[in-house]
Amino acid sequence: MIAALFFYNKKGELVLARTYRDGLRRSIAEVFRIRVISNPSAVPSPVLTIGSTSYYHITHEDLYVVAVGRTNAAAATIFEFLYCLVSQISTLLGSFNSASVKDNVPVLYEFLEEVADFGYPQITEFAALSDHVVLDFVSAGPDSYQSQSSTKSEPVKPTAASVSWRTPGLKYKRNEVFVDVIEELNCIFNAYGDILSASVAGKIIMKSSLSGTPECKFGLNDASLEPSPSPKSTSFFLEANTPTKDIIGEDGVTFQNCQFHQCVRLGRFDSDRTISFIPPDGEFELMTYRAIDNIRIPFKVFPSLNFVGTHKIDYNVSLKSYHSSLTPGSSAAPISKLHVQDVVITIPTPSNVSSVQGISTTGGKAKYDPSRNAIIWKFSRLNSTSDYSLTASAELISMVNRKPWAKPPIQADFTISMFASSGLAVKYLKIFEPSNYSTVKWVKYVTKAGSYEIRI
C-alpha cells in the first residue's frame, strides 16, 4: 500500500524518510517538494498524482507528513494512518515538529518499521509496541509517554494478541475513571439570527487507571432505548459536576450516528445498543457522535453593519443570551442557569482599516486587533439574563486596487461547563473485573463552540 513515508519541514528539506518498497528513486522526494511545498496556496487536492506515483499529504505544525503510493490504494486508510502516526508520535515525544524529529531519528526509524510492515499498517498503539521498540527517546515535554508510564508494571508481550490496545497485568492502587463528555456546537446563522444549520459533534473521552483487564459497560440516555433501570452494582460518585435536572433533556438524546473506538464491541451495539468494551489504559476517545435534534443554543449574535460610502463602516452588534430551545419542534425544558465562560466574539474587519474608533459596549471588553483584522469582544462570563451590544466605527483607507471584502463570518468561541448541548447524560458506567475492586468515577460535561458562525 504505502511505498514510502516522508517527513518534510516547511522549507522542503527531508527530515526523515522510510521506504517500504523497492523501485523508488530518490528523486520522488524532490517532486513533492517542487509541486506542493513550493506553492502551498494552489493545492487542489490532498493527493498529488503524477504518472503512477501518488503523494498523500497532511500537515502538522511545521511538518509535512507524506505517504507515497504507486497503486490504487485505500486513500481513506492511508490518511487515517497518517493522522494516527501524528498522534502517536506526538504522545511519544511530547511534541511532533521538525526539532523533535531531528532529536529522535533512530527511534522513529524503529517505530516506522514496526508500525507498517511492507507499507501495510499493523499495530500502531505504542503501548503494544513498547516491547519491540528497544530504543529510548528524547521527549520534549512533561506530557510525553515516558512520564506517563511510570505506574506501569512490566509489560507482557502482546504481539499478536487480539486485544492489542491493552497490555494485561496492570496494577493501580487507586482505581479511577474520568469520563469527559465534550461537545462541539457547530452552528451557522444568517444576519437576522435564523439558524441555517445546527449540529453537535460530541465525543466522550475516557481516562482510566484500572487494574487488570476490566470489562466496562456504558449507558447513555439514548432515546432509542426504553428507559434503562438505575445502576445497581458499583458505586457511582458524581461529585460537584453533576448535571442538574433542568439541564438534562427530558426525553433521551437521539443520536444521528455514533462512531466508536476499536475496543468497543460493535456487534453488541448493533443488536441492543449496549456499549461494552475493554478500555485501553490511560486516555482514549471512546466514541464520537452527532446530534441534530433538540440542540440548546446559548446565545445569538445580531450583527448590523452600515457601510458609509467607502470610507467607514459602522458596526452595531448585539448579543442576546437565549436559554430555551431554538430548534423547532423540540421538547427540551428551558434552562435557567448556564455557565457560559470565556466568550470571545471575533468581528471581522476589512484589511484596509486605518483605525477603529468609538468602541463601546454594554458588557465585556472589546478591542481592535489589527493583526487579525478583527474586533475582539471578550466576556469572562455571560450573564444569562442580559443582552449586550457593541458599537464601533471603522475608518477605511481608500485603496487604488480595491479587492472586494470577503466578509468572513463572525466567529464566536465559548465554553459552557456542566452542560451538554444535545442533552446527553451518562446514566451508568459499570465495571466488571474478576478481583471486584471498587472504582471512583467522575463525569464532566463541557460544551464548546465548534464552528459557530454568524454571517454578516
Count of CB atoms situated within 10 Å of the CB of 277: 24
Closest CB to other proteins among residues 84, 418: 84
Q: Decide: is 38 part of the binding site for other proteins (CB under 8 A).
A: no
Q: Decide: is 142 part of the binding site for other proteins (CB under 8 A).
A: no
Q: Decide: is 278 part of the binding site for other proteins (CB under 8 A).
A: no
Q: Which stretch binds other proteins (CB under 8 A): 141-149, 190-198, 223-231, 418-426?
A: 190-198
Closest CB to other proteins among residues 109, 172: 109
Site for other proteins in 295-354 (CB under 8 A): none
Binding map of other proteins across residues 7-36, x = CB under 8 A, - = no contact: -------xxxx----x------------x-
Element spanning 272, H or E: helix 266-272
Q: Is the dihedral of CA 109, 114, 120, 124 positive or negative?
A: negative
Q: Decide: is 79 part of the binding site for other proteins (CB under 8 A).
A: yes
**β partners of residue 316:** 304, 391
Cell numbers representing residue 40 in the block: 502551498
Instruction: Report the distance separating Cα 344 and Cα 365, nearest Å.
Output: 10
Closest CB to other proteins among residues 21, 323: 21
Q: Decide: is 154 part of the binding site for other proteins (CB under 8 A).
A: no
Closest CB to other proteins among residues 157, 365: 157
CA 322 to chain centre: 26
Q: Decide: is 122 part of the binding site for other proteins (CB under 8 A).
A: yes
Residues 180 and 241 sit within 8 Å (Cβ to Cβ) = no
Backbone angles phi, psi at 240, to 5 degrees: -65, -10
Q: Decide: is 50 part of the binding site for other proteins (CB under 8 A).
A: yes
Closest CB to other proteins among residues 43, 238: 43
Site for other proteins in 366-425 (CB under 8 A): 403-404, 406, 408-409
Using the 8-state DSSP alphabet, how is residue 34 labeled?
I
Closest CA to 233 of 439, 426, 444, 435: 439
The distance of closest approach from Cβ of residue 15 to other proteins in the complex, given in angstroms and rounded to an integer, is 7
Instruction: Report the distance separating Cα 221 and Cα 251, nearest Å.
Output: 8
Q: Decide: is 105 part of the binding site for other proteins (CB under 8 A).
A: yes
Residues 3 and 68 sit within 8 Å (Cβ to Cβ) = yes
Binding map of other proteins across residues 256-275, x = CB under 8 A, - = no contact: xxxxxxx--xxx-xx-----
99 burial via Cβ count (<10 Å: 0-12, 13-18, 19+) = middle
The distance of closest approach from Cβ of residue 150 to other proteins in the complex, given in angstroms and rounded to an integer, is 21
Site for other proteins in 230-259 (CB under 8 A): 256-259
